Structure 1
Amino acid sequence: MQKTFFGSVNSCPIAANPTLFKRRATKHNGMKLALVLTFAMICLLAGILFLAFVCRRRTRMWEVKQSSYREEQNISGPFSFQTDSTTWVADVKQATSVPVVIFEKPLLSITFADLLSATSNFDRGTLLAEGKFGPVYRGFLPGGIHVAVKVLAVGSTLTDQEAARELECLGRIKHPNLVPLTGYCVAGDQRIAIYDYMENGSLQNLLYDLPLGLQSTEDWSTDTWEEAHNNGIQNAGSEGLLTTWPFRHKIALGTARALAFLHHGCSPPIIHRDVKASSVYLDYDLEPRLSDFGLAKIFGNGLDEEIVRGSPGYVPPEFSQPEFESPTPKSDVYCFGVVLFELITGKKPVDDDYPDDKEATLVSWVRGLVRKNQASRVIDPKIRDTGPDEQMEEALKIGYLCTADLPSKRPSMQQIVGLLKDIEPAAN
């Protein structure tokens, strides 16, 4: 009996099924795993739903902002903008309906509304300068394009198509010493030229220590100066590079090369018609660049009287002659001579302190001393010891040739480039 009872251990249910424990344990672990996975899936689903809710809310907020922006930009014109000296009106009915052409990015969709946004509706706070061709504003276009926006506010005799064609041609003109035309906009009667922004301002502002956009010391205060710096505007000023003769020579040579290219490298030749210190800029790398080239053509005959009137101190003598018809390349040469005098003397073309002759202009004062072989007296004290006086005196003689009364006596810009290269300071 004992054998029968214990004869087969396998007759014991527990002993007979040793795998039963394993099966039950596996089933128990499987339930745990299922619960963990289910809980994880629920958490994941909840997270996805939460993210979807947040994203949808943000999208709705963005759509509201976008729609309000569009509504703001879709206001009807005309748009009136005030500068220091004048008010101009862009006869545009719908800001988003007027396209802006950007040469390097033809697929970029930009409109007059973007120009409004970039310049804070052409606010005076973004005004860089006012010139013969119109006011210039600073701004950022979509894509982070830093630009100077020049509004050609004087009426043009060209049609919209003719003006656009001329601006397209100007956009193809490239030279290391010219400010590139980035694009344009034809907005009603206004033609708007868009340039690369020149970080270091104009020669006029640098020579006379003025913040960008100001023409004289009467136009600014300490607050204005600090505000200009806070806006990221750089200024080399008289305390910087402009205190050296090599740098001033570099500006003169670069400007001469730009004019030589316009006169001799373009077909037909381009006469600038408004060369002056405020049209010479310094880019980020402190390279001189001439701006406003070819703009007179955009006006057709609409700017003739303004051109003849000229800028004080830069007007060639022939402009006052009865037989005068229109500016020539030699008119640009005269204006370049005045800029050259400014670079060497540090004095303005008019209304400055000219020793021994209070009624003089810069041209008459310098020319009189050059004729007396006293050219060294006019050299700016800030640069006197930064280079050979002989080089500066030779540069004054080049300016003397440029400002001859008779246009036929003035050298060409190609010749001027050669003369300036002959007195180029040795590289350090």
Structure 2
Amino acid sequence: MMAFQRLNFTVEDVAAACADRGSARVVGAGFDGTVYRAEMPNGEVIAVKELRLPHNKGKRGKENSNDSSKREAITVAAAAAEVEVLGSVRHRNIVRLLGWCRNNETVLLLYEYMPNGSLEKLLHGGGIIDDDKESDKRAGKRGGGVMAVDWETRYKIAVGVAQGMSYLHHDCTPLVVHRDLKPSNILLDAEMEARVADFGLAKFMDGAVALSVSGISGSYSYIAPEYACTLKVDERSDIYSYGVVLMEIVSGRRSVEPEYGEGNSIVEWIRQKLVSGTDDRASNLGRARRDDCELQGSEEGDDAGAPSGHALHL
């Protein structure tokens, strides 16, 4: 096991905690792996991501052992190089990679555990959350697709994600491009601070040279149109994805809904609403926000002036 900080548990502890991979322990899953909640003997809880390694097949569909072993060696070597970079990332809005370990069958990434789940589950409900009642109160009761979270928390989350992505783009060497920024890859700590996570698709770039990729990666509604056309990715692809996430935070809607029409995402829907000016939900939200500000101003007195606040610009 390679650790990026001092750990109070061993690789044997991790193996024992991950021996039972029941559904109750699953806190997330994607095309590149599954994330489990694992409690160490000392009571510390961590998140363990089990990576899925690709396997090469022979011409007749049977696995060629030589090709497979070479492929696995290359994959593990590439993972090791990327994990080394991610292990050095230190920012309050990035989920910290504690270490990693592997054997002949699997690669495990060890992360700090985020008790309030993902932004996806906060916005759209149905999430896995700890039994901590105070944590529930901070997160807000959610379910049925209704976002029960105040504007201050939404703003805090939006800014936190922006700060984390800015760090990856401007303060890391080499530059880190996430390539799959979306609400399910944004986690929330005990204080509802946003943490960008899941770098399974991350790519590291030298300077501003765009990276050519063999296929489109990421969730299509968060993919920049030029990325889908050119298969070249740089940090601007992440900026587009962040814009889509921001629209979800502000509107409470999913990136894809039947109401948007076939082939459309929240981007086209909001563009249409901005042109037509007929979005009742946006009008109601804006009216409620103005009422809150007016009430706050009246309570503070005439000397308070216009209420201060922050605007989220689309």
TM-score bracket for the superposition, by shorter chain length: 0.7 to 0.9
1:110 and 2:10 aligned: yes
Partner of 2:150: 244
Structure 2: distance between partners of 1:192 and 1:371: 48
Partner of 2:181: 275
Q: Deviation per CA, 1:38-74: give whole Å up to 9, x if none.
A: xxxxxxxxxxxxxxxxxxxxxxxxxxxxxxxxxxxxx
Structure 1: distance between partners of 2:90 and 2:290: 34
Per the normalisation by structure 1, the TM-score is 0.55
The match for 1:166 among 72, 82, 106 is: 82
Unaligned runs of 5+ in 1: 1-99, 213-227, 392-421
Structure 2: distance between partners of 1:183 and 1:242: 35
1:361 and 2:277 aligned: no
Match for 1:190: what amino acid? T
Structure 2: distance between partners of 1:385 and 1:238: 23
Structure 2: distance between partners of 1:184 and 1:229: 25
Counterpart secondary structure, 2:256: coil
Structure 2: distance between partners of 1:329 and 1:157: 29
Q: Deviation per CA, 1:174-221: give whole Å up to 9, x if none.
A: 111111111111233533211110011100001111122xxxxxxxxx
Larger Rg: 1
Greater percentage in helix: 1
After superposition, the CA RMSD in angstroms is: 3.3
Shift of the 158–281 alpha-carbon distance from structure 1 to 2, 3 Å rule, reads same
Contact 1:312 1:349 in 2 (8 A): no
Partner of 2:310: 424
Match for 1:319: what amino acid? Y
Shift of the 131–231 alpha-carbon distance from structure 1 to 2, 3 Å rule, reads farther
Q: Deviation per CA, 1:283-306: give whole Å up to 9, x if none.
A: 0111111112475349xxxx955x
Contact 2:98 2:112 in 1 (8 A): yes
1:346 and 2:245 aligned: no
How many residues are treated as equivalent by the alignment? 267
Q: Deviation per CA, 1:235-282: give whole Å up to 9, x if none.
A: 534489953222111111110111111111111110001000001111
Partner of 2:61: none
Structure 1: distance between partners of 2:163 and 2:150: 20
Contact 1:104 1:182 in 2 (8 A): yes
Counterpart secondary structure, 2:102: strand
Contact 2:153 2:192 in 1 (8 A): no
Structure 1: distance between partners of 2:32 and 2:278: 35
Structure 2: distance between partners of 1:206 and 1:191: 29
The match for 1:311 among 197, 219, 225 is: 219
Partner of 1:123: 22
Shift of the 180–109 alpha-carbon distance from structure 1 to 2, 3 Å rule, reads closer
The match for 2:282 among 373, 379, 404 is: 379
Shift of the 183–352 alpha-carbon distance from structure 1 to 2, 3 Å rule, reads farther
Q: Deviation per CA, 1:3-58: give whole Å up to 9, x if none.
A: xxxxxxxxxxxxxxxxxxxxxxxxxxxxxxxxxxxxxxxxxxxxxxxxxxxxxxxx
Correspondence list, 1:24-43, <5 A: none
Shift of the 251–230 alpha-carbon distance from structure 1 to 2, 3 Å rule, reads closer
Partner of 1:146: 45
Counterpart secondary structure, 2:232: coil
| Percent of pairs with identical residues | 31
Contact 2:248 2:254 in 1 (8 A): yes
Contact 1:207 1:237 in 2 (8 A): no
